[in-house]
Amino acid sequence: MDSQLLEINLISAQSLKPPFRLRHVQAYAVAWVEPAFKVRTLVDRTGGENPTWNDKFIFRVPSGFLANDSTSTVAVEIYAAAGRILPDPLLGTVRLLVGNLRLLSRRRDCPAFDAVGIRRPSGRFHGVLNVGATILRCVSLVAAKVLATCPAVSYRDLMGKEASKIRRFPATPAAAARRVDPTAGKDPAPKEWNGGKGSADCEDEEERSDGGVVLCGPCFLGLPRRIHLSPSDQNLKLSWTEEKPADDGRP
């Protein structure tokens, strides 16, 4: 079956209505074309009721999915991060009717934008989701390899897979020397700043997908946040950075 690569950009939302038990909204969105393959944005921790994500996802869809008279939709659910104990409450849902964007009439790689009303769990519309959609002409080899086995992937996933391949070795000879003997020619005390990791090891750390950041000099480790899934998110595809890191033999 002939297929196309559809890029969806969840840009931002406006005028979200917070649940009664949360004073401050920290929202994230879950999107899918097939319920078995869901992807999600980062948690916006500063925008409150007007979050900004600007997260992009690639979906492999049949060509008929994009037809002007098609009733196919991209489903989006918006949640508020409630913490480690309480489940994340649903703020609203969106059904993006792709046919209304008339993407087949546009040049490839030329995005179309729309503002779609957000339906609250009560059934009423409250707030707007700003979204962009593009038919891609081509993708990277890493993306093509992933999409051959999985019909949905986020750009953050792809960045992670590429980084895992190119960040195997220290960037400088000095960093390599520190990896061989972290105490050579320096005070061994800085090893204790981050639980035994030298500062060279911190050069390989990436931003956590939940908003936690790993900073160096001296090192400070942001702790990953536990994500609560709603009943409809059993097959949610989490970002690569939220997976358990591979054991490299260090304590």
Domain presence at residue 204:
yes
Q: pLDDT averaged over consecutive 10-residue blocks of the chain (251 residues)?
A: 90 91 88 95 94 96 92 96 87 95 92 96 95 94 92 89 45 43 42 39 40 39 43 50 48 47
d(CA 125, CA 130): 15
Q: Are residues 32 and 138 in the same domain?
A: yes
pTM for this structure?
0.65
Find out whether the peptide bond into 218 is cis, omega within 30 degrees of 0.
Answer: yes
Q: Are residues 139 and 23 in the same domain?
A: yes
Domain presence at residue 250:
no
CA angle 89, 129, 159 (to 5 degrees): 85
Domain termination site, one of 159, 176, 196? 159
Q: Are residues 96 and 179 in the same domain?
A: no
What pLDDT, on the 0 to 100 scale, is given for residue 217?
Answer: 39
Count the domains in the chain.
Answer: 2
CATH number at residue 49: 2.60.40.150
Domain presence at residue 247:
no
Q: Are residues 142 and 179 in the same domain?
A: no
What pLDDT, on the 0 to 100 scale, is given for residue 209?
Answer: 40
Domain presence at residue 11:
yes
Domain presence at residue 251:
no
What pLDDT, on the 0 to 100 scale, is given for residue 223?
Answer: 38
Q: Are residues 155 and 220 in the same domain?
A: no
What pLDDT, on the 0 to 100 scale, is given for residue 21?
Answer: 74
Domain termination site, one of 159, 185, 208? 159
Domain range spanning residue 75? 3-159
Q: Are residues 189 and 220 in the same domain?
A: yes
Q: Are residues 71 and 90 in the same domain?
A: yes
Q: Are residues 34 and 142 in the same domain?
A: yes
For the segment 34-82, what is each residue's pLDDT rounded down to a tens digit? 999 999 999 999 999 999 999 999 999 998 999 988 999 999 999 999 8
Q: Are residues 219 and 148 in the same domain?
A: no
